[in-house]
Amino acid sequence: MNNFADVHAQAQFAGDKMKKNNLFTTDRMFCDMYCFEPGQTQTAHVHSDSDKVYYVVEGRARICIGSEEREVGAGTAALAPAAASHAVSNPGPGRLKLLVFMAPKP
């Protein structure tokens, strides 16, 4: 595995649903680039024993963590701690590129 990644070069989108592009994987964690066309969503879900961090690289994101929902832009990081329900959607109008870190790897 290469230890360096250009996140924009790795950002692939899909017309039918948000697309996960893996950048790095180890035994302990993974780092992905999630790509959302306007209107695409990652529906609410829970990881009982893993923490996830989102970082908005480009675009707008509506991020829900537990009972808190915020619409945020580039430069915002968000933590979905283990056992907290979390969801993301792209309210548009542009594409959303989201860096994602999760540990431990579920």
Interface positions with a second copy (CB under 8 A): 1, 3-8, 23-24, 26, 28-29, 31, 50-51, 53, 55, 57, 63, 65-66, 68, 70, 72, 75-82, 84, 99, 101, 103-104
DSSP conformation class of 26: -
* Amino acid (1-letter code) at residue 72: V
Residue closer to a second copy, measured from CB, 38 or 103: 103
Q: Are 91 and 25 in contact (CB under 8 A)?
A: no
In the complex, minimum distance from the CB of residue 31 to a second copy, in angstroms, rounded to a whole number: 5
In the complex, minimum distance from the CB of residue 74 to a second copy, in angstroms, rounded to a whole number: 9
Residue closer to a second copy, measured from CB, 21 or 92: 21
Residue closer to a second copy, measured from CB, 17 or 26: 26
- Within 10 A of 87 (CB to CB), how many other CB atoms are there? 15
- Within 10 A of 101 (CB to CB), how many other CB atoms are there? 17
Residue closer to a second copy, measured from CB, 38 or 104: 104
Q: Which two tokens stand for residue 85?
A: 């329900």
DSSP secondary structure string for all residues of 23-41: EEE-SS-EEEEEEE-TT-E
